[in-house]
Structure 1
């Protein structure tokens, strides 16, 4: 589908309540002061009263409140930001990972290699909001999730969401949702997954939204095949499996469970406007919620645009039957890029040895989950020889960077400079750790017509048994 950006095209998407555009843009109604996602079920407003925004933050910055019916703050992020390799795309990924909350705008700019003023100017020019406003919108969404799904005290939620003060938290919630935090909690759904049934000990229940069809089976197949005992497990029969793993996070640790959700994909392009994967997070520090969610979204590739991917790949005679068989197939990423790089090099069996020999044991093991994957610095010091030692040393001293804001070409060149790291492993790291949608491994005949979605094409071949990553 050609997702045009002119306002007439956008208004037609609003009139038809086209969920394919959710997260691609937002619209606001001047007569009501409310902003929505394109698929909002409310009566379509008159064209003269509608304004369009590239981000929820831009709509909020113009004084509009989030719609209570369609919850525009909860839609999947625009796939564009994960695909783009320029400074704006890299900045959006870093902000989503919580960098502004932890390091401020100065820290964001330093990671990007630009001045804070340059970053502010570029984001504002293209997105209608600077880094502070984008981070504020994200904090508001995190706060709403915590208010409506947990029993955490309101004061604790304020700081867990990244706000500097309770007053700032209260003012933002009123501005974004036209409600006080207490009113938001009282308005939480009382059915389905349960209103406020979650407690700190029970974890935080989440719905990880995606657009379009989501072919969960091959993703869980891959995760089950790769699972490293001690840090990961996949349980249950195909179709209703649960993936669990440990997470190392900026403020603490976490354990996450994500459900396969049967029936998450339906046949036929456009037949499925979107959905979600159910998840539950157990965090030692709730300030890690935003970062943990974003890492899960990258692992499960939940911000992808399956319509654009499938349309391009289905035009190829070789791939057409594979796309028809698996609409909405994703390109899985990783919850920990540095861990993925080591595992891409060593394989699962050796990774298990490293976990049990050098991984940090959890204070409170949870079933078979007992450890965190060892940090690069630990591995570099413990086993400094060979390619593994060279790779972990490069990761530890940041000669190789794999964070969400890194320039992918720079990362590729740095990986190629690691002694003994072969081209096939570099390609796997680019696909999984860097989320690069357009990678062609060496030795595989991949036509240019598959661009810019060659990584997705490889996953179709892998799911069909026509290609093995290792």
Structure 2
């Protein structure tokens, strides 16, 4: 019912009245529950006599049967393409980054997605451009550049060829009251902006983040280039993001980061209806979402500095770390390499915890921001640290922090509350328990 993209590929929905099975993100009208059957694998739905939906194409779902064996390569390629890889480099260069030939990469895309990598990139660029035409006051030229087109003529030609309309016909008129460095961000359900700002304000880093009565602003880096954004509510269902980026094609990456940071792709109405059914009285503050930490690395650092101390103490140490390893004028969150190169003497904490931070930095440099569950092998990192990183760094919707002291204490009010009963919305149950003060 939530059509949450985080569950895409984890299960499939089959409708007995139509004989069709779909991905959980399918835009088709929802069927009655009595007509629905669930399958963990698309192959199981096929074996049961269902045929794949032509709208959502289950064969292209992440982790589906068509992806087995080459899942990692295709997923990484998609991620890089959505980050603008084919805007700034050639297909052979992208394939080299993935450790495969460009011919093999084209074959994988054709088999699993039904199009070439360049087609996938083009469609992604056009859909982003269409979104900006509806949700910003940027000029057509600016939108073309932000979408990765190197000329307005090529942008117009591609738009007309694929969408059978010109960008001007799609726009008609720009949204009212927007400047050319603002974009509208839409969301479903409710958003408790006051709670979100209070949560982020208590954990804000001086010079890196700024929280006012109505807005949140932050510096960040995209491909080693500086970026900045400020988000303010406009009306129910809509936020306004003001931005600065070094390169125009970084805008889609920034929008994706901000949407993840404020968890704008979930539907809180569906989530809270489930939690209210499981534990009546748990949802005392509607519209709670997962305030992201920017990246898995940042969430991991915050979790380690917060081990067995108060939020205030953890933020004090975080401010010292950022001040020591960042520029005064435009601060950025320290990179893993900067942490490795520092003696971390600025941190007034046990030596063992500083060493844990170093070990995490070395792991990330070696393995990248891999699945946090693998961090459990690092000395000094336990389940709470891993779960916190999954919660705020990866935006995992089902991370119930049952080992957290506050969650343990407040869950006693709700005997029916446990990891199984709150699934698949364990992360939101965690935040609702934290909010009961």
TM-score (norm 2): 0.69
Residues 393 and 162 (structure 1), Cα distance of their counterparts in 2 relative to 1, 3 Å cut: same
**Partner residue of 2:326?**
359
| Count of residue correspondences | 362
Asked whether the equivalents of residues 211 and 306 of structure 1 are also in contact (C-alpha less than 8 Å), the reply is: yes
SS in 2 for 1:342: helix
* SS of equivalent to 1:329: coil
Distance 1:412 1:359, change over 3 A: same
Q: Provide the alpha-carbon RMSD of the alignment.
A: 4.0
- Please tell me whether residue 192 in structure 1 is matched to residue 168 in structure 2: no
C-alpha distance in 2 between matches for 1:162 and 1:129: 19
Query: CA separation in 2, counterparts of 1:111 and 1:224?
Result: 39
Aligned match for 1:443, one of 380, 385, 403: 403
Kindly tell me: are residues 25 and 433 of structure 1, through their superposed partners in 2, closer, same or farther at Cα, counting changes over 3 Å?
same
Deviation string 1:26-74 (CA, Å, 9 cap, x unpaired) is 79xxxxxxxxxxxxxxxxxxxxxxx96239xx9xxxxxxxxxxxxxxxx
The yes-or-no answer on 1:228 pairing with 2:205 is: yes
- For 2:288, the equivalent position in structure 1 comes to 329
1:299-314 alignment runs, 5 A limit:
299-314=261-276
Where 2:278 maps in the other structure, the secondary structure is coil
> What does 1:60-459 correspond to in 2, within 5 Å?
95-99=81-85, 101=87, 107=94, 116=105, 119-121=108-110, 123-124=112-113, 131-144=117-130, 149-150=136-137, 154=141, 157-163=143-149, 166-181=152-167, 187-189=172-174, 192-194=176-178, 197-198=179-180, 204-236=181-213, 241-250=214-223, 252-261=225-234, 264=236, 275-317=237-279, 320-323=280-283, 325-346=284-305, 347-362=314-329, 370-383=330-343, 386-397=355-366, 399=367, 401-402=368-369, 406=370, 408=371, 411-413=372-374, 415-441=375-401, 443=403, 446-459=418-431
Preserved CA contact (<8 Å) 1:358 1:374: yes
Unaligned runs of 5+ in 1: 10-20, 28-50, 59-77, 199-203, 265-274, 363-369, 466-470
Aligned equivalents of 1:116, 1:164: Cα separation in 2:
24
Query: Per the alignment, in what secondary structure is the counterpart of residue 206 of structure 1?
Result: strand
CA-to-partner distance for each residue in 1:152-181, whole Å, 9 max, x for gaps? 672x64343223555542222213554434
Q: Deviations over 1:238-264 (max 9, x none)?
A: xxx1000001012621111011457x3
Cα distance in 1 for partners of 2:297, 2:238 equals: 27
Q: Distance in 1 between matches of 2:255 and 2:379?
A: 34
* Cα distance per residue 1:374-410 (max 9 Å; x no partner): 211112111376111111122223x2x33xxx5x3xx
TM superposition score normalised by structure 1: 0.65
Alpha-carbon distance between aligned partners in 1 of 2:262 and 2:2, rounded to the nearest angstrom: 24
CA–CA separation in structure 1 for the residues paired with 2:98 and 2:158: 27
| Change beyond 3 A, Cα 1:340–1:180 | same
Are the structure 2 counterparts of residues 463 and 136 from structure 1 closer, same or farther at C-alpha, using a change threshold of 3 Å?
Answer: farther
- Equivalents in 2 of 1:100, 1:382: separation in Å? 35
Cα shift readout 1:307-344 (whole Å, capped 9, x = no counterpart): 44223322213xx3233x33442122232332222222
Cα gap change, 1:300/1:99 in structure 2, threshold over 3 Å: closer, same or farther?
A: farther
Is the 2:260–2:292 contact (alpha carbons within 8 Å) kept by the matching residues of 1? yes
Q: Deviations over 1:201-244 (max 9, x none)?
A: xxx211111122223232222111111111001012xxxx1000
State the secondary structure of the residue aligned to 2:282.
helix
1:251 and 1:287 in contact (8 A); partners too: no
CA distance in 2, matches of 1:459, 1:345: 19
Q: Distance in 2 between matches of 1:250 and 1:104?
A: 17
**For 2:261, what is the secondary structure of its paired residue?**
helix
- Alignment check: 8 A CA contact 1:306 1:329 kept: yes
User: 2-side partners of 1:308 and 1:168: how far apart?
Assistant: 42
Superposed displacement of residue 110, structure 1: 6.2
In the TM superposition, residue 419 of structure 1 has moved relative to its aligned partner by: 2.0
CA offset at residue 422 of structure 1?
2.8
Larger-gyration structure (1/2): 2
Q: Deviations over 1:252-305 (max 9, x none)?
A: 21111011457x3xxxxxxxxxx2211111112211100000000110011113
1:25 and 1:207 map into 2 onto residues whose CA distance is 22
Task: Name the SS of the counterpart of 1:326 in structure 2.
Answer: coil
- Measured in 2, the distance between the counterparts of 1:327 and 1:151 equals 34
Higher relative contact order (CA 8 A, sep 6+): 1
The answer on whether the counterparts of 2:76 and 2:98 sit within 8 Å (CA) in structure 1 is no
**Could you say what secondary structure the match of 1:257 adopts?**
strand
Q: Which structure 2 segments of 5+ residues have no match? A: 4-12, 19-23, 30-52, 306-313, 345-353, 409-417
